[in-house]
Structure 1
Amino acid sequence: MSRQQRDALDALLRSVPRGETPPTLEQQRSGFAAAVARPAPDGVVTRRTVLGGRPTLELEPSTASGRGRLLYLHGGGYVIGSPDTHAGLAGELARRAGLRALSVDYRLAPEHPFPAAVDDGLAAYRELLEAGTDPRDLVVAGDSAGGGLSVATLLAAREAGLPQPAAVVVFSPWVDLTLAGASIRSKEDADPIFTEADVRAYADLYVGAGDRAHPLASPVFGDLTGLPPLLIQVGANEVLLDDAVRLAGHAGAGNVEVTLEVLPGLPHVFQHHYGRLDEADAALDRAARFLTGHLEAGHPDSDRLEPVR
């Protein structure tokens, strides 16, 4: 892996100017889209559809098999981001796993505060099952707030009596809106993107005066028993490091099969930088193998699903 690539990425992220006046919500959303958005990869066809009553981006790799489905929930602090800003990341994971993906445009705060995003995630998951998708053929993934939302959606599905999917992958998940993790403060200097104040501002917009320790807002405080196999990937240079570490520990305590990967010297959702950061490509390959491996486990007598290299 390239130290030069990591250092160049850190310098690039630190070069983003911070104005003296906080940006407006519209400026945050447009700025995030300009900074993060990457198009769907070559060989991945996109279509507009609706799932669970919400606009959804369907991503279909040319190598997709007939049965597997990936439900993707994008990041952005529950305030910014969309399936379009994450078409590259979701599409790249889908391409490497050979899976059709559906990325949901769930409602954002502050216009639609908690639990709107969870309601939309659950509605999308429920519709996939009601449309005949075998839960053994369904996997879930998300990044940052979308990682937390992925876990919260599965907790809500469990409470609704719905079956769990085959597996779930989360990148740099935000799972504690109380900001109790020590890394929120201890990793501020190492994190080239976020400060504690940044993360707190998103929590304020999403939950407001509500209960920030509610398990559907902060899944690290929930009972994770019964959730499917979980892969967590996180960078060591991010304020949300302890969210990922504590989620893994809590999942393990709930008898969930969990794999935690902490990558040294890397920032929040470093997977966005596939194609220009060796660690991002390797991490996405591992995530794809994790998903396809658990899809195969649900159909032990069928042909193997081979991830795309």
Structure 2
Amino acid sequence: MAPDIPKRRADAERFSKLLIQAPSSQFEQIDAGGVPAERLTFSDVEPVRMLFHLHGGGYVVGSPRTHRALVSRLARRISADAVIPDYRLAPEHPFPAAVEDATAAYLSLLDQGVHPSRIVVSGDSAGGGLAASLLVNLRDKGHALPGAAVLLSPWTDLTLSSPSLYDPEIADPMLHVEGASHAAAAYLADTPPDHPLASPVFADLTGLPPLLIHVGDSEILIDDAKRLARRADEAGVD
């Protein structure tokens, strides 16, 4: 393991405690199909949806705890409960561990009787790419797909070929290409970087549920997001 990864994980956990969660957020530890996870409920909200969020962190950092504030605000806005899987991280658990855990945790919702049309899959950064990979994996295996997916600044190309990664005019305050390169190497191990479940921009996106993709113009992942949106549009995805 790179020596800075434990520190980055600890820093992320510590920083996340400074972020403000949505009102009346209540988190509990659950087992989601054999995957540790947190479930979010609100004491004053009658849920009409289930948000299934995959956290970012380059596949090497992050946890449900680091994303409580973000997920609580998203979930409250759409009157949803939420589940945040604590999927296995690289380099200890390289690809396809994260995809396997995301799939198992999602299927556990169906096993509990949650109708797929009520589920909104979401993810940020690497979690956004993982969310897209999850959808492809579910479709390929014949499982019921969620009603929709929301991808926030998704990292979708681990070949690192998007021009925006190298654009000197983009002053991304969070990410840089060197960090992305190290994270990709840790996650991929011996897997080709254009594997469609590692880099979903190379996947066949036909038949996926409606996608909402957000990205800012000061982010180095803007081309990853735009390329995925273009591929989805070409595949007939709403």
| Interval containing the TM-score (normalised by the shorter chain) | over 0.9
Partner of 1:13: none
CA contact (8 A) 2:164 2:170 kept: no
Q: How many residues align?
A: 236
**Aligned partners of 1:109, 1:57: CA distance in 2, in Å?**
20
Deviation per CA, 1:7-49: give whole Å up to 9, x if none.
Answer: xxxxxxxxxxxxxxx8522111112222344353221111111
CA contact (8 A) 1:75 1:147 kept: yes
CA contact (8 A) 1:70 1:94 kept: yes
Deviation per CA, 1:247-290: give whole Å up to 9, x if none.
Answer: 10000001001xxxxxxxxxxxxxxxxxxxxxxxxxxxxxxxxx
Partner of 1:117: 98
Q: 1:40 to 1:54 in 2, by over 3 A?
A: farther
User: In structure 1, the residue corresponding to 2:226 is in which secondary structure?
Assistant: helix
Partner of 1:291: none
1:186 maps to 2:167 = yes
User: In structure 1, the residue corresponding to 2:14 is in which secondary structure?
Assistant: helix
Pairwise CA distance, 1:187: 4.8
**Aligned partners of 1:187, 1:251: CA distance in 2, in Å?**
28
CA contact (8 A) 2:170 2:220 kept: no
Match of 2:212 among 216, 231, 234: 231
Q: What amino acid is the match of 2:74?
A: L
Partner of 1:165: 146
Match of 1:78 among 50, 59, 70: 59
Which structure 2 residues correspond to residues 244-259 of structure 1 after superposition, within 5 A? 244-257=225-238
Query: Based on CA coordinates, which of the two structures has the bigger radius of gyration?
Result: 1
CA contact (8 A) 1:148 1:219 kept: yes
**Aligned partners of 1:228, 1:36: CA distance in 2, in Å?**
31
Deviation per CA, 1:219-269: give whole Å up to 9, x if none.
Answer: 000001111110011111111110000010000001001xxxxxxxxxxxx
Match of 1:199 among 143, 164, 180: 180
**Aligned partners of 1:249, 1:151: CA distance in 2, in Å?**
14
User: In structure 2, the residue corresponding to 1:65 is in which secondary structure?
Assistant: coil
Q: What amino acid is the match of 2:88?
A: R
Partner of 1:35: 15
**Aligned partners of 2:175, 2:72: CA distance in 1, in Å?**
25
User: Any gaps of 5 or more consecutive residues in structure 1?
Assistant: 1-21, 258-309
What TM-score does the superposition give when structure 2 sets the normalisation length? 0.94
Q: 1:63 to 1:154 in 2, by over 3 A?
A: farther
CA contact (8 A) 1:188 1:194 kept: no
**Aligned partners of 2:3, 2:173: CA distance in 1, in Å?**
18
**Aligned partners of 2:174, 2:48: CA distance in 1, in Å?**
38
Partner of 1:290: none
Q: What amino acid is the match of 1:115?
A: P
Partner of 1:59: 40
Residue identity (%): 46
Match of 2:125 among 144, 162, 175: 144
Match of 1:219 among 169, 177, 200: 200
**Aligned partners of 2:120, 2:105: CA distance in 1, in Å?**
13
Which structure 2 residues correspond to residues 257-276 of structure 1 after superposition, within 5 A? 257=238
Q: 1:188 to 1:104 in 2, by over 3 A?
A: farther
**RMSD of aligned residue pairs (Cα, Å):** 1.5
Pairwise CA distance, 1:67: 4.3
Q: 1:103 to 1:175 in 2, by over 3 A?
A: same
